[in-house]
Amino acid sequence: MGKNHLKRLNAPKTWPISRKGSKWITKQNPGPHKLNESMPLNIIIRDLLIYAKTTKEVKNILSNKDILINKRVIKEKKFPVGTFDIIEIPKTKENFLFLLNKKGKFFLQKIDDKKAEVKHLKIIGKKVLKKNKLQINLYNGNNFLTDKKEYNVGDTLLINLKDKKILKHLKLEKNADVYIIDGKYVGLTGTVESLSSNKKNDTIDLKINNKNVKTLKKYIFVIDKALIK
């Protein structure tokens, strides 16, 4: 049971679920997101959207191809949904952005059709290959090759989910708008004041609600604020 399920009491703190009830709860499949950085689709449909009461009903919804994640039909109830993934329900004409609130809990923010076509993807690594090609590694586990040198770790790319083309490159730099995905200021948005680094951690100085704060670079996601409002 432990390989396929979690004890409800041991579920990540990011999951907005009751700690009382059945002993076991669905555990998501391995994927690009860590356990505490995602939730299984089964729980999202049943507990957040409340479109089903049981896992059997969730399976029926998924078998009918009623749920899209980032424009892909998903039929697997254990599919891991992570921060900035986009959930689309054509039958109800609803779109949701998967985010974290100020308490560090996942929630669904309703968005319009236009916003549902664009996904934020953070650059988490890059590697120089033969013939001076760069391999860019993204937050969702994907990667691509490019000749462009201006892409840096910590930057965000806005991707059109229909044609997979890069719409915009958002640099991690002074005055960049950012969303915080972990730490004391999780769920808040701010503006970069300055970047600094030391042997242990890279840190960012931010301005949040006219207050100067500091957090870790790994907690920062550069955003287009207009797309998450």
Residue-level pLDDT at 3: 61
Query: Please, is 163 exposed, middle or buried when counting C-beta atoms within 10 Å of its C-beta (0-12, 13-18, 19+)?
Result: exposed
Give the range among 92-96, 130-134, 216-220 with minimum mean pLDDT.
130-134
Cβ burial, residue 181 (10 Å; 0-12/13-18/19+): buried
Whether the pLDDT of residue 79 is over 50: the answer is yes
Helix (H, G, I), strand (E, B) or coil at 222: strand
CATH number corresponding to 177-228 = 2.30.30.30
pLDDT, tens digit, for every residue of 125-166?
Answer: 999 888 888 999 999 888 999 888 899 999 999 999 999 999
Question: Which pLDDT does position 1 carry in this prediction?
Answer: 45
What pLDDT was estimated at residue 190?
Answer: 96
What pLDDT sits at residue 200?
66
Per residue in 4-35, pLDDT (tens digit) is: 678 888 899 999 988 777 788 889 988 778 88
Q: Please tell me the distance from the alpha carbon of residue 17 to that of residue 199, in angstroms, as a whole number.
A: 38
> Residue type at 142?
N
Residue 228: what pLDDT?
Answer: 87
Angstrom distance (rounded) from CA 196 to CA 167: 28
What pLDDT score was predicted for residue 198?
Answer: 65
| DSSP designation for 29 | P
Tell me how far apart the alpha carbons of residues 42 and 165 are, in angstroms, rounded to a whole number.
Answer: 30
Q: What percent of the chain has pLDDT over 70?
A: 97
Q: Please say whether the beta carbons of 15 and 39 come within 8 A.
A: yes
Give the residue extent of every domain in the chain: 5-111, 117-170, 177-228
Q: Which CATH architecture has domain 117-170?
A: Beta Barrel (2.40)
Find the range with the poorest average confidence among 24-33, 66-75, 97-106, 184-193: 24-33
- At the second CATH level, the architecture of 5-111 is Roll (3.10)
How many whole angstroms separate alpha carbon 182 and alpha carbon 93? 31
pTM check: above 0.75: yes
**Least confident residue range of 20-29, 46-55, 165-174, 215-224:** 20-29
